[in-house]
Structure 1
Amino acid sequence: MRLVTLLGMALAAMGVPALADVPVPDYAQGQYWSTVESLPQGMAAPKGLRGVDVFWIHPTTTRSPTDYNHDPLDPAVLKWTEESAVQRQGSAFSACCRVFAPRYRAATTKALADPANREKAFALAYSDVERAFDWYMAHENKGRPFIIAGHSQGGAHTTSLLEKRIKGTKLQGRMVAAYVIGINLMEGDLSPRLAGIPFCESPAQTGCFVQWNAVLAGSDSGPMLKSYRDIFVAQNGGKDGGKPLCVNPVTFDMRRGLSLSAEAKGAVAGDPGFGPMGPLQAGAVAAECRDGLLTVWPAPSLGLKPLPGGSMHFHDVGLFWADISANAALRAKAWLKAHGSR
């Protein structure tokens, strides 16, 4: 599994119990699923049953001094995961789709910083995600078209699902799209790893996937790009992976890597945290894919803070909340038109 440098900087909750005391999630139980209950202030809840499902995988949300994976039902972990990730990020897909968001034993920041145990922690986390996906397909999907989406660690697990559960199967024909957000897939991952699942080139294309990593304009992206290249080379027998894959999540069009602020449909202000979201701010970010990274110029009124090196990792979704929402709806409608409404 490709691990991402930025994952080590994921925002944290505290107070995680020993993993030995944590039961394996049973996805037949409702307590192991999140529901989207919060939208940006001023937005009305979607009405009626949407025609497409979204399987949403949350990012790293736990810092622990002792454990490599978190207890998804621990109250402190659950509150932070829900309010900083599921509601703030997964909600972007709720206008078009029913959202299924599993609570899983995600790897912690301790695991991300420990090369000796990182792979094991991610394997455990992915085993939950895969079982949740299989349960959803067996009991809830009922032949419906679907989107898979995830951010950061969730983006890594999204990619693994594409590789291990979607590629070359009957499910691939029902996949509307995949949103792989905030990780470091390279041009070299298009084949053989994801052969047959193309990178989306246009905003209404289906059966494909998208990716972006946001960095603040004026930042030195050299170290980040070098890290991405080195990781790919190390994990692929010395093969050069080329550039990171990037689409502008305002245009979702590979022919239009640059978007002006006026085009942005709506961003979530402030850093991820507890409590409800404020109103969306339209026209608040310009963006451009440069060298495989998404360079952003956010409006000061958003009050967003970059991570070290200028990474806007915490804001990969929030900066483009309304744009993602509109694009997911566009792709869902395109799939249903091409294949018949279900």
Structure 2
Amino acid sequence: MRNSQTWTYLCRSLAGFAALILAAWMVSTPALSETAASLPPADKAVIPPAPDYDEASSWLARPDNPDAFAVDILWVYPTVLYDQSAWLMDITRKDLIAGAAETVHSEALVFSGQANLYAPFYRQMNLAGFNLPEDERDALTAHGEEDIRRALRHYMEHYNNGRPFIVAAHSQGSYVLTQLIVDHWGKLGIEAQLIAGYLIGWSITGEDLQDNPAIDICGEPRQTGCFISYNSVAAGKQGEAPMILKGAIVVNPLTWTRETKLAPSSLNLGSTLFDGENPWRTYPGFTSAQIADHGLVVAPADPALLETPFFPQGVYHSLDYSLFFENIKSNAAQRIQAHLARKNGPPPQ
């Protein structure tokens, strides 16, 4: 799975690691505090060697045939380090490699058959780091941000070959990409090649846009060069979702607009739920979606299917991709087609 990656594989369950990851993420919970207490002081953290993106071992996924599709996708996986072993991910650890690979088999599968997949390893922060003071947290996440910045540069220099590309991520992956974009977007010289950025499971805020006016938030389904962010919660649960930040700007994945009116479940092409017994199950019309109080409020037809014993009821962070799986797949195709049409111009008369 590391040296090259095809899009032909069975999905595995996210439940095993995602529930534990997300259980710990509630700020100031005993689980998070216990993990942090067992680790050395953050300023004494062991810093693993940085990935060398010339080496195949520094890539979770690369395509067998890099010319299979006209566009690429760069996937940044969510948190897989949540035990009491280290503050930063050692990218040679087999258990963490397996955890990162699970996200390729599930969330990133939404882009299957549409793009050449590249997924770099990076020295992500232990989930417990989100409970640290901001300066200590930022010092740790700086390693992952620098890794992804280098991975993006390496990808552009060695693999891209002028193709349009998508960036996509979830959770801590979206956090790292958001930080990178706020700091550097508009200065990289690659902005015209961006089809879209699906930075789901974190927040892009109004303050971020003030800090970097080059960032454009998507406002319609075929818009390109823009970014998408949302966090799924039941009504009234916005305040229990630590990934919903003050001033978060939300794109509704059923309409791909920022309109706050209810998008009915009839617009939901299919929620795809991964479990241990089936590769996947898709439920058309499973949930509506409405932007409210900086979150994306959902009303699943059968909430019991979405419960975990570890995460607060109604905070559906682990299902941000699953709840809108078919809509994301369809929208990626729309944006790819729109970008290629503009790039190639109208057909000859």
Provide TM-score, normalisation by structure 2: 0.78
Matching of residue 207 in structure 1 with residue 234 in structure 2: no
**Aligned-partner Cα distance in 1 for 2:100–2:277:** 12
Matching of residue 25 in structure 1 with residue 51 in structure 2: yes
1:221 aligned partner: 238
Q: What do you get for the CA RMSD once the two structures are aligned?
A: 3.3
**Aligned-partner Cα distance in 1 for 2:272–2:138:** 33
**Aligned-partner Cα distance in 2 for 1:185–1:300:** 29
CA contact (8 A) 1:6 1:313 kept: no
Instruction: Please state how far the C-alpha of 1:188 moved relative to its aligned partner.
Output: 2.5
Q: Matched residue of 2:88: which SS?
A: coil
Matching of residue 51 in structure 1 with residue 70 in structure 2: yes
Instruction: Please state how far the C-alpha of 1:301 moved relative to its aligned partner.
Output: 7.3
Matching of residue 330 in structure 1 with residue 334 in structure 2: yes
Q: Map 1:182-197 to 2 at 5 A.
A: 182-193=201-212, 195-197=213-215
CA contact (8 A) 2:268 2:327 kept: yes
CA contact (8 A) 2:25 2:130 kept: yes
**Aligned-partner Cα distance in 1 for 2:260–2:234:** 19
Q: Amino acid of the residue matched to residue 8 of structure 1?
A: W
Pick from 334, 341, 344 the counterpart of residue 340 of structure 1.
344
Matching of residue 71 in structure 1 with residue 90 in structure 2: yes
CA contact (8 A) 1:67 1:110 kept: no
Instruction: Please state how far the C-alpha of 1:256 moved relative to its aligned partner.
Output: 6.6
Q: Matched residue of 2:52: which SS?
A: coil
Q: Map 1:64-143 to 2 at 5 A.
A: 64-83=83-102, 85-115=103-133, 117-143=136-162
CA contact (8 A) 2:205 2:248 kept: yes
Q: Does the C-alpha gap of structure 1 residues 30 and 225 become closer, same or farther in structure 2, counting only changes over 3 Å?
A: closer
Matched length? 308
**Aligned-partner Cα distance in 2 for 1:26–1:73:** 12
Q: Does the C-alpha gap of structure 1 residues 126 and 99 become closer, same or farther in structure 2, counting only changes over 3 Å?
A: same
Matching of residue 261 in structure 1 with residue 265 in structure 2: yes
CA contact (8 A) 1:216 1:296 kept: yes
Q: Does the C-alpha gap of structure 1 residues 202 and 117 become closer, same or farther in structure 2, counting only changes over 3 Å?
A: same
**Aligned-partner Cα distance in 1 for 2:187–2:167:** 16
Matching of residue 172 in structure 1 with residue 173 in structure 2: no
CA contact (8 A) 2:241 2:315 kept: no
Q: Which has the higher mean CA deviation after the structures are superposed, 208-217 or 168-177?
A: 168-177
Q: Amino acid of the residue matched to residue 147 of structure 1?
A: I
CA contact (8 A) 1:7 1:152 kept: no
**Aligned-partner Cα distance in 2 for 1:6–1:169:** 36
Q: Matched residue of 1:303: which SS?
A: helix
**Aligned-partner Cα distance in 2 for 1:32–1:253:** 36
Alpha-carbon displacement from aligned partner over 1:152-205 (angstroms, at most 9, x marks no partner): 111112223323443144211111111111112222322232x12221110000
Q: Amino acid of the residue matched to residue 245 of structure 2?
A: Y
Alpha-carbon displacement from aligned partner over 1:284-321 (angstroms, at most 9, x marks no partner): 11111112210011232771126226311111111111
Q: Matched residue of 2:196: which SS?
A: strand
Provide TM-score, normalisation by structure 1: 0.80
Instruction: Please state how far the C-alpha of 1:103 moved relative to its aligned partner.
Output: 1.4
Matching of residue 34 in structure 1 with residue 60 in structure 2: yes
CA contact (8 A) 2:51 2:122 kept: yes
Q: Amino acid of the residue matched to residue 223 of structure 2?
A: Q
Gaps in structure 2 of 5+ consecutive residues: 1-21
Instruction: Please state how far the C-alpha of 1:124 moved relative to its aligned partner.
Output: 0.9
Matching of residue 283 in structure 1 with residue 301 in structure 2: no
Matching of residue 318 in structure 1 with residue 322 in structure 2: yes
1:252 aligned partner: 256
CA contact (8 A) 1:270 1:303 kept: no
Q: Matched residue of 1:326: which SS?
A: helix
Q: Does the C-alpha gap of structure 1 residues 324 and 112 become closer, same or farther in structure 2, counting only changes over 3 Å?
A: same
Alpha-carbon displacement from aligned partner over 1:69-96 (angstroms, at most 9, x marks no partner): 112231111112211x222111212232
**Aligned-partner Cα distance in 2 for 1:169–1:109:** 29
Q: Matched residue of 2:245: which SS?
A: helix
Q: Does the C-alpha gap of structure 1 residues 222 and 302 become closer, same or farther in structure 2, counting only changes over 3 Å?
A: closer
1:296 aligned partner: 298
Q: Does the C-alpha gap of structure 1 residues 7 and 200 become closer, same or farther in structure 2, counting only changes over 3 Å?
A: farther
CA contact (8 A) 2:201 2:243 kept: no
Gaps in structure 1 of 5+ consecutive residues: 38-47, 230-242
CA contact (8 A) 1:200 1:208 kept: yes
Instruction: Please state how far the C-alpha of 1:143 moved relative to its aligned partner.
Output: 1.0
Q: Matched residue of 2:122: which SS?
A: coil
CA contact (8 A) 2:270 2:283 kept: yes
**Aligned-partner Cα distance in 2 for 1:170–1:132:** 15
Instruction: Please state how far the C-alpha of 1:324 moved relative to its aligned partner.
Output: 0.9
Instruction: Please state how far the C-alpha of 1:151 moved relative to its aligned partner.
Output: 1.1
Q: Matched residue of 1:247: which SS?
A: coil
**Aligned-partner Cα distance in 1 for 2:244–2:258:** 24
Alpha-carbon displacement from aligned partner over 1:46-72 (angstroms, at most 9, x marks no partner): xx8221111111111121224111122
2:4 aligned partner: none
